[in-house]
Structure 1
Amino acid sequence: MKTSDTDILIVPGWSGSGPDHWQSRWVAKLSTARVVEQEDWHVPSRLWAERIVAAVRAATRPVVLVGHSCGVSAIAHAAEHLHPGEVAGAFLVAPAAERAKRDLPGMTPAFAAHRRETLPFRSVLIASSNDPYCTPDEAKELAEAWGSEFVDAGESGHLNTESGHGPWPDGLLRFAGFLRSLTAVPQRSIQG
């Protein structure tokens, strides 16, 4: 699959992605990428998942989700409402652990808890060995529960602007490889 064959839905985490964050840069660089907007970037809730489901169902090409931090959680929560075939794959980066999410202002308990079922689409989970918001063991446990391929990003912090990952060229290369590994799915095979 190529980027031009997909609708790339970018799902930022708590407080959204600033202009220098790699997700914002990808939206500017990739013509088929757009952000799944949330009503309030400071109040993560199951409503975030509803927005993802609506964006997936409005897509006209196979969907690839790209989540960071709490956006990864939102994708996992959305997955329980998505039918097989609605999403071609998910690129999940730097998940936030339940304990870290519980400490965020505005966090709802239902959103803080991680869904533990296999995702109904192919996924890769990339995590750092020194992420302050999720230990490597927690990230590996999530990858296993979700059926995601696990990628150790080494000592990379939270893989955000603050950790020096504004442009994140290695991430873009890995994303391109992930896209190439996906098989196209008929986007409207199941109407929601």
Structure 2
Amino acid sequence: MNRPFLIVPGLHGSGEGHWQRHWLADLEGAELVGQADWSNPQAGRWLHRLERAVIANPGALIIAHSLGAILTARLADSSVAPLVGGALLVAPADIERTGALHARSYEFGAMPVARLPFPALVVASRNDAYMSLDKARALARTWAAPLLDLGFAGHINVASGFGRWPRGYELARQLLDRAARRQRQGPTPHLPQQAADSISPTRIPVPPAR
């Protein structure tokens, strides 16, 4: 596989200084899943772009933030789900709350509630304006994914003091290790051999904090 990491931003596309942009530059072969209009998310169009990226990069680890995490969870019901190597779902955003915070409605459908058929980790905060920790916990249980409570970390973005976020690399490495162990335990319908062969825990460097 030529590109093992897919960066999936949320509303407004994770601009300059956001940890996702740092990771895009830091991680060899990382690819941004771009959208035609970052300010007007539409579930169908955004999902189509993500599905195409997954097909082109079987076994990739998805690094998702905010509405991007919600978008990634929608892959549970997609035919491309078996190609996903894993997903780091950071600061998932409640769709209704996102609309309220930005004084508008978004065509992003209902919150996805299907069990995730690939390894995943939800990373949440106690004071995230976009989703309460209780709701994040409930969503993680629904998705059958563990949750990491980062404490008072806001929306885990530039505004809450997150630049390169070196700790996140360790979380991604642990997630890749989980996916690799899962494959070694035997074949599953969720992670085909082609996808499993392409993920390697040694491919994530941990850059120094800046």
Q: TM-score range by the shorter chain?
A: 0.7 to 0.9
Equivalent residue number for residue 152 of structure 1: 149
**Residue among 194, 199, 208 paired with 1:187:** 194
The Cα shift of 1:106 comes to 5.8
Quick one: structure 1 residues 180 and 5, their matched pair in 2 at CA, closer, same or farther if it must change by over 3 Å?
A: farther
1:25 aligned partner, one-letter code: H
Distance 2:30 2:10 in 1: 16
Max Rg structure = 2
After the TM superposition, which segments of 4 or more aligned residues of structure 1 sit over 6 Å from their partners?
none
Distance 1:112 1:162 in 2: 27
Quick one: structure 1 residues 30 and 112, their matched pair in 2 at CA, closer, same or farther if it must change by over 3 Å?
A: same
More moved, 72-81 vs 147-156: 72-81
Equivalent residue number for residue 107 of structure 1: 106
Kept after mapping to 1: 8 A contact 2:51/2:80: no
Distance 2:162 2:25 in 1: 16
Equivalent residue number for residue 66 of structure 1: 63
Structure 1: segments with no counterpart, 5+ residues: none
**Residue among 25, 38, 62 paired with 1:41:** 38
TM-score (norm 2): 0.80
Kept after mapping to 1: 8 A contact 2:55/2:80: no
Kept after mapping to 1: 8 A contact 2:92/2:131: yes
Kept after mapping to 2: 8 A contact 1:67/1:92: yes
**Residue among 108, 123, 128 paired with 1:126:** 123
Deviations 1:139-162, CA, capped at 9 Å, x for gaps? 001101111111111111100011
2:106 aligned partner, one-letter code: M
Quick one: structure 1 residues 87 and 157, their matched pair in 2 at CA, closer, same or farther if it must change by over 3 Å?
A: same
Structure 2: segments with no counterpart, 5+ residues: 184-190, 197-210
Q: How many corresponding residue pairs? A: 183
Distance 1:89 1:6 in 2: 14
Distance 1:157 1:123 in 2: 21
Distance 2:42 2:20 in 1: 20
Distance 2:79 2:126 in 1: 31
The Cα shift of 1:77 comes to 1.9
Kept after mapping to 2: 8 A contact 1:101/1:112: no
